[in-house]
Amino acid sequence: MLISVFTLFITAAHDTLKSFHLRPRAERFHGFTLIGILAILAALLFPAIGKGVNTAKLARSQSNIRQLAQCVLLYAGDHEGVLPPAAGQSSIPGPAISNWVLALRESGYSNAIPDVLVVSGRISTYACPLALACRPYDQSVAKGTYAMNAYASPKNAPRRLSSFNTPSATALLMGSRWHPGLKTWPQTEIGGTGAIDNRWPEFPYPIRALTSDASPFSGHPDPSAIVAFVDGHVELVPKSRMPDPYASTNAFWGGL
């Protein structure tokens, strides 16, 4: 709808300017009036187009992470209620698995976790369109943008779904941390402690242009992350509402 209106607007503006100099002097005042009206329409239309693009990318991003969360929960259902590990090696239960991404691939969810960013001309389910719109990513390196809460399923001891006291308040998946040097989102886990100082997720909503070395919450007073929770629902969580990722003694990160 917005694209059609925009096309009509451009066509009308082009025709008006093309015929302007061919008109008699007496008719040029009318031409100036029409140009003024078109300028006003443009001022009203362009923000609406931007808002529509933002909304469409948000809907797709929410749909993608919701599908991934459902795959993770199905995996747990097939493995005695145990989640796949966020990262690292694990043998609880079954053979060693590198991380939740490989676990889903090896369990038959290859369509949800492809090894390329674009599949048949479309952004894969493993990628967040909002994040891609914010960062100058390297298409030859980037594979996906989502990560699992490190507290929800530690690499050496993945947790059972029954261990969460508040599954509707505990994060399962969200945007992976951006790596400025690699220009991609390389982590499969988010939160927790360790060698990497910044364990905050991406906060890609609303869409804004972020430089390669910008922090995940720059460019907006209170940006939001897209979060899928252990019970499967998805929310936009503002930075101001997200607890410190270094602390596991809260419902959001630790499910306690």
Token pair belonging to 137: 């990513």
Could you tell me which residues are beta bridge partners of residue 73?
Answer: none
Global pTM? 0.79
pLDDT at 212: 93
Question: Strand 224-229 relative to strand 234-238: parallel, antiparallel, unpaired?
Answer: antiparallel
Amino acid (1-letter code) at residue 125: T
Contacts of 130 (CB under 8 A, 6+ apart): 57, 58, 61, 204, 205, 207, 226
pLDDT at 53: 63
Amino acid (1-letter code) at residue 44: L
pLDDT at 217: 87
Distance in angstroms (rounded) separating the CA atoms of residues 153 and 99: 10
> What is the layout of strands, in order, in the sheet containing 146-149?
189-190, 146-149, 171-175, 224-229, 234-238
Q: pLDDT tens string for the chain (256 positions)?
A: 444 544 544 454 445 445 545 455 555 455 557 666 666 755 655 555 555 667 899 999 999 999 999 999 999 999 999 999 998 765 555 566 678 998 998 888 877 788 788 877 788 999 999 999 999 999 888 889 999 999 998 887 889 999 999 999 999 999 998 999 999 998 899 987 654 546 789 999 999 999 999 989 899 999 999 999 999 999 999 999 998 887 778 899 988 7
3-state secondary structure the chain: CHHHHHHHHHHHHHHHHHHHCCCCHHHHHHHHHHHHHHHHHHHHHHHHHHHHHHHHHHHHHHHHHHHHHHHHHHHHHHCCCECCCCCCCCCCCCCCCCCHHHHHHHCCCCCCCCCCCEECCEECCCCCHHHHHHCCCCCCCCCCCEEEECCCCCCCCCCEHHHCCCCCCCEEEEECCCECCCCECCCCEECCCCCCCCCCCCCCECCCCCCCCCCCCCCCCCCEEEEEECCCCEEEEEHHHCCCCCCCCCHHHHCC
202: nearest Cα among 237, 168, 234:
237
Tally Cβ neighbours within 10 Å of residue 160: 14
